[in-house]
Amino acid sequence: MNINFNQIIKVFTPFLILFLIAYLLTSILYIYLPKKPKINIEQVSYNVEYAKYKLYKNFQEKSVKQKIKPKKKIQAEYKLISNIILKAIYSTQSNGGWIIISENSSSKTYILSIGDTFKNYKLKLIYNNYVIFTKDNKEYKLAIKADNKKANYTIKNIENETPINNQITQSDNEFTIERKLINNYSQNISKIWKEINIQDYKIDGKLNGFKIRSIASKSIFHSLGLKKGDIIKKVNNIDLKSYSNAFSIYKKLNNTTNLNFTILRNNEEVELEYEIK
């Protein structure tokens, strides 16, 4: 078999030349392109975190703040827990141990220790005469009776039992917001949008704050003293001149100890100040 090398070279030479041209072009491009990603070193902010310092307070007698204790909601009935009979408790000193329960409808008994779940009720604590179950953020207290015929039970809500107004307290002309309330909002932004409707406030086409279009009457914003038509200009001394400023305030909410609003109300600048505890 005769191999015509001349013919093969003739066919492949143009491809080789094209490959070299492509290689040359991409190499030139490579020279001009960045070789490594730009490493962004996070800029350390030298701005002092906004906080209210009250030096004069050190020279004053400390006043005792009276907190209004929220009333515990007790519901009278609950089907399943009422059907459980607490037969025996074996408790330790550290509220541990195990219990024996049975259902009214059957003679079957169950042994539970702390952390065990019975029909979605989680056993939380064991005391000498009663035990605490939890389910759906509610606590269920089940007590033992001497005759073992019927157990006492009470139910209380673990969360959301404190109205917003009770979580914002006032003493010595100072307003205090409970940290729990702030955290609740910072972790759930959709809750904020449900309770307040804001709109960009622009001067000469530039963002210069946010105008409140509406506020829900039972919301934290209403309790904080914000009103419909207010223009929020600053929060914690940060001008709301960009969306990023607004979001950076929102992101820092969990760690901030003071909340300060500078608002424009009826063309007058008003300051609202709160301490978060």
Partner 1 sequence: MKFILKTIAYIVFFLTMILILLPKENLYYMGQNKLENFKVELTQDIIDESNFGLTLGMLKIKYDNIEVANISKFDITTYLLSTKIDIKNIIVDNAFTKFVPQGIKFLSISHSILDPLKIHISSKFSLGSLSGNIDILNRVIKLNLTVSKSFRSKYRQIVRSLKRVQKKDKKEEYYSYEYKF
Interface residues with partner 1 (CB under 8 A)?
14-15, 18-19, 21-23, 25-26, 29-30, 33-38, 40, 187, 189-190, 193, 242-244, 247-248, 250-251
Q: How far is the CB of 16 from partner 1 (least distance, A)?
A: 10
236 pairs with which residues across the strands? none
Residue with Cβ nearer partner 1 (39 or 64):
39
Q: How far is the CB of 237 from partner 1 (least distance, A)?
A: 18
Residue with Cβ nearer partner 1 (117 or 248):
248
Q: How far is the CB of 211 from partner 1 (least distance, A)?
A: 18
Q: How far is the CB of 38 from partner 1 (least distance, A)?
A: 6
Residue with Cβ nearer partner 1 (38 or 149):
38
Q: How far is the CB of 15 from partner 1 (least distance, A)?
A: 6
- CB neighbours of 250 closer than 8 A, spacing ≥ 6? 186, 189
Residue with Cβ nearer partner 1 (36 or 62):
36
Residue with Cβ nearer partner 1 (75 or 248):
248
Residue with Cβ nearer partner 1 (192 or 272):
192
Q: How far is the CB of 10 from partner 1 (least distance, A)?
A: 12
